[in-house]
Amino acid sequence: MKIINLDQIKAVLPEIDLMQEIEAGFAAYSKGRAVVPPVGELVLQDPPGEVHIKYGYITGDEYYVIKIASGFYENPKLGLPSGNGLMLLFNQKTGVPCAALLDEAFLTDIRTAVAGAIAAKYLAPSSVSSIGILGTGVQARLQLQYLAPVTECREVVVWGRDQAKLDIYQSEMSATGYSVTTTMNQEDVLRNCNLIVTTTPATTPVLHWLDDIKHGIHITAVGSDTVDKQELDFATMNRADRIVADSISQCLLRGEIHQALDHGVIERNEITELGAVINGDAPGRTSDDQVTVADLTGVAVQDMQIAKAVFRSIIGDS
Amino acid sequence: MKIINLDQIKAVLPEIDLMQEIEAGFAAYSKGRAVVPPVGELVLQDPPGEVHIKYGYITGDEYYVIKIASGFYENPKLGLPSGNGLMLLFNQKTGVPCAALLDEAFLTDIRTAVAGAIAAKYLAPSSVSSIGILGTGVQARLQLQYLAPVTECREVVVWGRDQAKLDIYQSEMSATGYSVTTTMNQEDVLRNCNLIVTTTPATTPVLHWLDDIKHGIHITAVGSDTVDKQELDFATMNRADRIVADSISQCLLRGEIHQALDHGVIERNEITELGAVINGDAPGRTSDDQVTVADLTGVAVQDMQIAKAVFRSIIGDS
C-alpha cells in the first residue's frame, strides 16, 4: 500500500485535467455506471465535529475509493485547519489496499471547486458580466480560481459579514487577476452578477431573492452538504427555471433541494442531474434570461475520480 | 499519521488483554456511551466482493475509529486471502488522522473470535462437555483458540462438508491441545456438544434443531453478518430460551435475529444485548438446561476497542 502525502499530491495536481476527470465521473454517475452508497456520517459533540465517509466505484474500473473528510470548526482556536481527512484506493477485483492519499481534505476542497467550474460551464449565461461570491473562506477562493478557465469574466463582487475578511479576500484574489468589489449587502451580488457561487456553512439562507431581478443568473450552491445547512432562500428555489443536483438521490436527503422539497417549494420532477446535462440527456440552460441553480452536495464520484487521477499520476500510469 | 503494518500488530497482540478491552466495548455500547452509525456496505459484482465500513466512537474517548474490511471469495484462486482491510484512528477532538493499522483484516478475525469467547463466558453452561464447531475456516480455528482461557473443555466435534478440510482442521487443532472428532453430520454436533459455534458464510441454515435434544446448549453464530446469510434454522431460534445480540439495532437488519424476526419466529422483546448481560442489566443464562443463542454480526465497538488497544500498545501508552 502506497502512502502518499500532501506535498506529493500537490506536486502532481497541475499535470491532471481535473475538469475532464470529474466531468467523466458525473457523466458515469448519471448513466448509472457508478455505485455510490449513502454517505456515512459521524457527528461529534465535544467539541462539535462532523465526519463524512463517501465511497463507491465505477463499474469495471480498477479501484474503489473510500474518502474520509472531517470538519471540526473549533480547530482554528488550536491553530489547526478545521478540515482533515484522507482518501483510500482499493483494488476493485480483490479488495487489496493500493494507496492512502493523506490529503488532509485538500482534494475534497479541490474537487468541490472543480464541480463548481463544471456547473458554470454547463449552466452559466453565455456571457458572464460579473461573478458573485458569497463567503470569504477556502471555497470562496478556490471557486474563483477554478472558474478562470471557464469564463473570461474577471469582475467579482464578494459578500461577507466581516469587512476585515472581505478586505483580505479582495487583496488576495486581486493578485490572481480579478477585479474584486466587496459588499456586506447581498443585494449588490444579485443586482450586479449573473454567475453566483455560495460558499458558506449557513443554516439560514444568505441569498434572498429580489422580485425585481429580471436578468438571467446561474447560482451554484456549494456550502450546503448536510440535512440542516441552507444557503438559498425558498424564493430563489421557487424562481429557478432549472434546478440541477450533483446527485438527485443525495439531494433528496441533503442540501438546498432537500430543504425546498421538504417545504413544498419545488417538486421532485423539477430536478435534473448534472451528469445528465453533461451527457446531453437533459436540458441545461436554454436561454440567457433563465435562472438556474446547481446544488452541489459533494458526491463520492468526484472523490473517486480525483483520487484515481492523483494516484495514477504519481505511479506514472496516466 | 503512523502507518502500522501487520507484523507490528501481531507483535503487540500478546501484550493486550483483548477479552477485557472488548468486554468494556460491549458494556459501553449497551450503556449508550458509544456512537455507532449503521454499517456502510459496498457490494461488487465481477468478481463478487463485499466491503464493510464499521465506524464510531465512545463518548469522551481519545479516538474515533473507521474500520474497512473486505471479502472477495474468489481471491484464493489468485493466491490471495479472501479478506483484507485496515483500521484508521482519528483524534476525536480535532479529526486529525493518528494511525492506519494495515491489519489485512487480521484484527477483524481476532475481535470476532474474542467476541465468541465473551459470549461463551457469559452464556455457556457451567460445565462444557464438548465444543461443537461448524465450519473449518479461519474462524473455526480462532474461535477454538480464544475459547481456551474461557473453558477447561478440550473435547471438540467439528462439522464440515469436505472431509479433506476436516482432516486438516483436526490435525491442526489437535496440535494446540484439543481432542478433535470430525463429522459430516450436524446431528453429531447437537447430540454431543453443549457449546456450539457456527462459523460458516452459509445463506441456508447449517444447524437444524432436533426435537429430542434435551440438554442445555449455548450456540454462538458468528458467520452471519449480512441481510442474506443464515446459519441457524428457525426451529433453533424458536427453541432458544435466551437470544442475545451483539447489537440489537444491527441485528434487526442483519444476521440470524433479522431472519427470525422477519419470518415471525421470534419477537423483538425476546432479544437481549450482550453488553447488557455483561453489565448485569439483563439476565444471561439462568440454568444449565437452557438453550441460549448469541448472534454476533460484528459491531464497530469491537473494532474501536481492538484498534485503540493495539495503537496504544505500539506507542507505549498502555
Tell me: the pLDDT tens digits for B8-37? Answer: 999 999 999 999 999 999 999 999 999 999
Query: What was the pLDDT predicted at A306?
Result: 98
User: How many whole angstroms separate alpha carbon A253 and alpha carbon A40?
Assistant: 13
Query: What was the pLDDT predicted at A224?
Result: 84
Q: Residue A37 and residue B35: Cβ atoms within 8 Å?
A: no
* Whole-number Cα distances in Å, A126 to A23, A54, A221, B3, B189: 19, 34, 19, 50, 76
**Same structural domain, B128 and B214:** yes
H or E element in which residue A131 lies: strand A131-134
Hey, what's the cell of A127? 456571457
Query: What was the pLDDT predicted at A110?
Result: 98
Cis previous bond, B47, omega within 30: yes
Nearest-by-CA chain B residue for A82: B94
Q: Pick the residue of B8, B35, B42, B54 with the most A CBs within 10 A to test the interface with A by mutation.
A: B42
Give pLDDT tens digits for A260-294.
999 999 999 999 999 999 999 999 999 999 999 99
**Over residues A232-257, mean pLDDT:** 95
Query: What was the pLDDT predicted at A245?
Result: 98
Q: Residue A95 and residue B35: Cβ atoms within 8 Å?
A: no
**Same structural domain, B90 and B152:** no
Cell 436578468 -> residue: A215
Query: What was the pLDDT predicted at A318?
Result: 56
With 60 as the cut, is the pLDDT of residue A229 above it?
A: yes
With 70 as the cut, is the pLDDT of residue A73 above it?
A: yes
Kindly report the CATH number assigned to the domain that includes residue B17.
3.30.1780.10
Evaluate the CA torsion angle B94, B99, B102, B103 in order and state its sign: negative
**What values do phi and psi take at B199, rounded to 5?**
-130, 30
SS3 label, residue B24: helix
> Could you tell me the residue range of the domain that residue B31 belongs to?
2-107+301-315
User: How many whole angstroms separate alpha carbon B187 and alpha carbon B233?
Assistant: 13
Cis previous bond, B149, omega within 30: no
**Same structural domain, B294 and B307:** no
Q: How confident is the model at residue A317 (pLDDT cuts 50, 70, 90)?
A: confident
Hey, what's the cell of A265? 417549494
List CB contacts of B286: < 8 A, sequence separation 6 or more: none
Q: How confident is the model at residue A225 (pLDDT cuts 50, 70, 90)?
A: confident
**Same structural domain, A180 and A275:** yes
- DSSP class of residue B15 equals G
> Does residue B116 lie in a domain region?
no
> Does residue B20 lie in a domain region?
yes
**Same structural domain, B171 and B285:** yes
**Over residues B284-302, mean pLDDT:** 97
Buried b (16+ CB within 10 A) or exposed e, A279-317: beebebbeeeebbbbbbbbbbbbbbbbbbbbbbbbbeee
**Same structural domain, A152 and A102:** no
**Same structural domain, A141 and A285:** yes
Give pLDDT tens digits for B160-173.
999 999 999 999 99
Query: What was the pLDDT predicted at B115?
Result: 98
Q: For all residues of chain A together, what is the average pLDDT?
A: 96
Q: For all residues of chain B together, what is the average pLDDT?
A: 96
Q: Residue B42 and residue A35: Cβ atoms within 8 Å?
A: yes
**Same structural domain, B33 and B150:** no
**Over residues B258-272, mean pLDDT:** 95
How many contacts, defined by CB atoms under 8 Å, are there between A and B?
115
**Same structural domain, B55 and B134:** no
Query: What was the pLDDT predicted at A178?
Result: 98
Q: What is the DSSP string of B262-297?
A: HTTSS-GGGEEEHHHHHHTSS----STT-EEEEE--
**Same structural domain, B269 and B184:** yes
**Same structural domain, B211 and B260:** yes
Percent of chain A at pLDDT exceeding 90: 96
**Over residues A17-35, mean pLDDT:** 98
Give pLDDT tens digits for B84-108.
999 999 999 999 999 999 999 999 9
> Does residue B117 lie in a domain region?
no
Q: Residue B37 and residue A42: Cβ atoms within 8 Å?
A: yes
User: How many whole angstroms separate alpha carbon B107 and alpha carbon B67?
Assistant: 10
Enter the ipTM: 0.91
Nearest-by-CA chain B residue for A63: B44
Nearest-by-CA chain A residue for B103: A97
Query: B169 at the A interface (CB within 8 A)?
Result: no
Q: Residue B97 and residue A86: Cβ atoms within 8 Å?
A: yes
Query: What was the pLDDT predicted at B225?
Result: 80
Q: How confident is the model at residue B318 (pLDDT cuts 50, 70, 90)?
A: low
User: How many whole angstroms separate alpha carbon B138 and alpha carbon B106?
Assistant: 10
Cell 496516466 -> residue: A318
Hey, what's the cell of A76? 482554528
Q: What distance in Å separates residue A37's CA from the closest CA in chain B? A: 7
**Same structural domain, A98 and A132:** no
Q: What is the DSSP string of A277-313?
A: HHHTSS----STT-EEEEE----HHHHHHHHHHHHHH
Query: What was the pLDDT predicted at B224?
Result: 84
Q: Which residue has the higher pLDDT, B79 or A226?
A: B79
* Whole-number Cα distances in Å, A190 to A157, A158, A224: 10, 11, 19
Given its phi and psi angles, is residue B87 left (phi above 0), alpha (psi -120 to 50 degrees) or beta?
Answer: beta
**Over residues B33-51, mean pLDDT:** 96
Which of A47, A51, A55 shows the shortest C-beta gap to B42?
A: A55
With 90 as the cut, is the pLDDT of residue A92 above it?
A: yes
Kindly report the CATH number assigned to the domain that includes residue B147.
3.40.50.720
Query: What was the pLDDT predicted at B31?
Result: 98
Neighbours of B159 (CB within 10 A): 27
User: How many whole angstroms separate alpha carbon A131 and alpha carbon A142?
Assistant: 13
User: How many whole angstroms separate alpha carbon A83 and alpha carbon A106?
Assistant: 8
* Whole-number Cα distances in Å, B108 to A318, B39, B120, B275, B305: 35, 14, 19, 19, 11
All residues of chain A having their beta carbon less than 8 Å from the beta carbon of residue B57 are 42, 44
Query: What was the pLDDT predicted at A129?
Result: 98
How many structural domains is chain B composed of? Answer: 2
Cell 458554470 -> residue: A120
Which of A85, A96, A102 shows the shortest C-beta gap to B84?
A: A96
SS3 label, residue A60: coil
Query: A51 at the B interface (CB within 8 A)?
Result: yes
- DSSP class of residue A38 equals P
Q: How confident is the model at residue B179 (pLDDT cuts 50, 70, 90)?
A: very high
